[in-house]
């Protein structure tokens, strides 16, 4: 049963309605450990599905190219002001369609084609849009890549400084998609100043932790900050760019008209709702619980003999190297999915295996924390992961089926925002 209900969808397109219902049940019955996923509130779901999807609003509040903006302008203004207040930023743009376009806007604002740009290498936990070869950012700009240390699994800040002073990138990215440790924004800022570079912090994964005070903020250190609005922030699928006042004009011009046309006003409204939710005291407690759950889960996995990149976590994310377990990341992830434990296979630093069949697993605790699971449940989660990984190595499907049933039984006691089984 959906909340909000979808009776018209069921009436007009039962095929799609059935698939949506199946997906809702899947999300309800599985331990969702994909680090980039979460559950949004019913209020965010409602905002996303409003008649705002009917409107076109090219431009910015007070400076539109279409008439009829009497209600859209206040909505976008609320989203902008809430973003600035929540993160303490001087400027916010809430129009980017998603994280990758937000990052592309940084390139358009600060670089010319062929300019050097520096970011964490993708196999080390960086993002495609930080200058990786298959991305437009690696084709249109000259990428300079830094790594993590083989002995610690942490960013090699000495290498960052040496490369920055040698290559003089126009933009230095910090942040990524598989970084389990605290990002040292002050150290990156010092290096960027020394190299004469713009510091861009991609905090898509940790924005909610920053908003909740569970991770240091890049505000005051980075010139520009990009983030998605889902993941740990628990908003809709969208993005934001925060910046200093000095760079506000360049950022806004890069987003529109530089990269996109009209914003998605229904998403803007949902972003505004999520930002209001994130400003409440309960969200700070949630962010702290996300980190607490990750730390306990990491410790439980270590106790079971798992190799964790960097030896643990400071945030919501755990990166496991399965090499010692005799099974690759992809078959392990597929077995875990059949067992009701949803995560993703992932490359690990210095991985000898190919990206589509890597050695690792990536785990995040944001969604299960939203469901209400706390530290007390994490040893059981680790035990299930261990059982299924061992079963994957032996191709023991009976264990997989048993764990799936146990997971469903556990999660029946933890409500899911937006859907519940029909009584």
Catalytic residue selected from 46, 50, 56, 182:
56
- Residue 422: its pLDDT value, please? 85
Helix or strand or coil: residue 59? strand
- Residue 1: its pLDDT value, please? 80
Name the binding residues. Answer: 122, 126-128, 246
Please give the helix or strand (H or E) that residue 242 lies within, else none. strand 239-243
For 280-321, how does the pLDDT look when each residue is reduced to its tens digit (9 = 90+)? 999 999 999 999 999 999 999 999 999 999 999 999 999 999
For 53-67, how does the pLDDT look when each residue is reduced to its tens digit (9 = 90+)? 999 999 999 999 999
Whether 342 is a known active-site residue: answer no
pTM above 0.95, yes or no: yes
Residue 95 has pLDDT above 90, yes or no: yes
- Residue 397: its pLDDT value, please? 96
**Residue with token string 């009829």:** 68
Q: Which long-range contacts (CB under 8 A, 24 or more apart) does 404-410 make?
A: 404/338, 404/339, 404/340, 407/29, 407/30, 407/31, 407/339, 407/340, 407/341, 408/29, 408/340, 410/377, 410/380
- Residue 152: its pLDDT value, please? 97
Q: What percent of the chain has pLDDT over 70?
A: 100
How does residue 410 score in pLDDT terms, banded at 50, 70 and 90? very high
Name the binding residues for (6S)-5,6,7,8-tetrahydrofolate. Answer: 122, 126-128, 246
Whether 202 is a known active-site residue: answer yes
Query: What's the burial of 395, exposed, middle or buried (CB within 10 Å: 0-12/13-18/19+)?
Result: exposed
DSSP structural state of residue 416: B
Closest CA to 213 of 87, 122, 352: 87
- Residue 27: its pLDDT value, please? 98
Whether 237 is a known active-site residue: answer yes
Catalytic residue selected from 142, 168, 237, 276:
237
For 62, 80, 263, 272, 307, the CA distances from 71, given in Å and listed in that order, are 11, 15, 14, 14, 53
Closest CA to 383 of 323, 298, 300: 300
Q: Is residue 329 within 8 Å of residue 360, measured between CB atoms? A: yes
- Residue 366: its pLDDT value, please? 98
- Residue 33: its pLDDT value, please? 98
Whether 253 is a known active-site residue: answer no
For 365-404, how does the pLDDT look when each residue is reduced to its tens digit (9 = 90+)? 999 999 999 999 999 999 999 999 999 999 999 999 999 9
For 306-361, how does the pLDDT look when each residue is reduced to its tens digit (9 = 90+)? 999 999 999 999 999 999 999 999 999 999 999 999 999 999 999 999 989 999 99
How many C-beta atoms surround the C-beta of residue 409 within 10 A? Answer: 11
- Residue 423: its pLDDT value, please? 78
- Residue 2: its pLDDT value, please? 87
Catalytic residue selected from 228, 267, 268, 369:
228
Q: Is residue 351 within 8 Å of residue 359, measured between CB atoms? A: yes
Q: What percent of the chain has pLDDT over 90?
A: 98
Beta-carbon contacts of 385 under 8 Å, excluding residues fewer than 6 positions away, are 301, 336, 341, 363
The residue-averaged pLDDT of 91-105 equals 98
Q: Is residue 4 within 8 Å of residue 417, measured between CB atoms? A: no
Mind listing the domains of the chain with CATH numbers?
45-279 (3.40.640.10), 289-413 (3.90.1150.10)
Beta-carbon contacts of 103 under 8 Å, excluding residues fewer than 6 positions away, are 127, 129, 130, 137, 200, 202, 226
241: Cα separation from own chain's centroid: 14
Catalytic residue selected from 37, 58, 90, 115:
58
270 is written with which tokens?
């949902």
For 180-192, how does the pLDDT look when each residue is reduced to its tens digit (9 = 90+)? 999 999 999 999 9
φ/ψ of residue 20, rounded to 5: -65, -40
Whether 26 is a known active-site residue: answer no
Closest CA to 286 of 399, 391, 377, 208: 208
The residue-averaged pLDDT of 129-154 equals 96
């Amino acid at each position: 049963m959906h909340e909000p209900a979808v009776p018209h969808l069921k009436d007009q397109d039962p095929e799609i309605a059935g698939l949506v219902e199946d997906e809702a049940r899947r999300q309800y019955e599985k331990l969702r450990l994909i680090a980039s996923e979460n559950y949004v509130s019913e209020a965010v779901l409602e905002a996303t599905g409003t008649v705002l999807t009917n409107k076109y609003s090219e431009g910015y509040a007070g400076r539109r190219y279409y008439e009829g903006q009497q209600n859209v302008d206040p909505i976008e203004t609320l989203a902008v002001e809430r973003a600035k207040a929540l993160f303490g930023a001087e400027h916010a743009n809430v129009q980017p369609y998603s994280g990758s376009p937000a990052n592309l806007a940084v390139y358009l604002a600060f670089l010319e084609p062929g300019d050097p740009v520096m970011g964490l290498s993708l196999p080390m936990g960086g993002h495609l849009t930080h200058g990786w070869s298959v991305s437009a950012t690696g084709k249109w700009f000259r990428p300079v890549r830094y790594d993590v240390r083989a002995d610690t699994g942490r960013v090699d800040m000495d290498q960052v400084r040496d490369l920055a002073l040698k290559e003089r990138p126009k933009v230095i990215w910090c942040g990524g998609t598989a970084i389990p440790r605290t990002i040292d924004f002050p150290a990156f800022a010092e290096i960027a100043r020394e190299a004469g570079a713009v510091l861009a912090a991609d905090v898509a994964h940790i924005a909610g932790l920053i908003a909740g005070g569970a991770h240091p903020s890049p505000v005051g250190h980075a010139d520009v900050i990009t983030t998605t609005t889902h993941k740990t922030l628990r908003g809709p699928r969208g993005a934001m760019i925060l910046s200093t006042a000095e760079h506000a004009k360049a950022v806004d011009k890069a987003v529109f008209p530089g990269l996109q046309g009209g914003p998605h006003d229904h998403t803007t409204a949902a972003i505004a709702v999520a930002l209001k939710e994130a400003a409440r005291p309960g969200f700070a407690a949630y962010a702290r619980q996300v980190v607490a759950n990750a730390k306990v889960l990491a410790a439980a996995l270590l106790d079971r003999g798992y190799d964790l990149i960097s030896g643990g976590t400071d945030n919501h994310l755990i990166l496991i190297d399965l090499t010692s377990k005799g099974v690759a990341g992809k078959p392990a992830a597929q077995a875990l999915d059949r067992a009701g434990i949803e995560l993703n296979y992932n490359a690990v630093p210095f991985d000898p295996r190919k990206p589509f069949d890597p050695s690792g697993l990536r785990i995040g605790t944001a969604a299960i924390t939203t469901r209400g699971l706390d530290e007390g449940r994490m040893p059981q989660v680790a035990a299930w992961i261990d059982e299924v990984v061992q079963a994957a190595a032996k191709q023991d499907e009976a264990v997989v089926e048993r764990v799936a049933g146990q997971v469903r039984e556990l999660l029946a006691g933890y409500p899911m925002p937006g859907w519940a089984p029909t009584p």
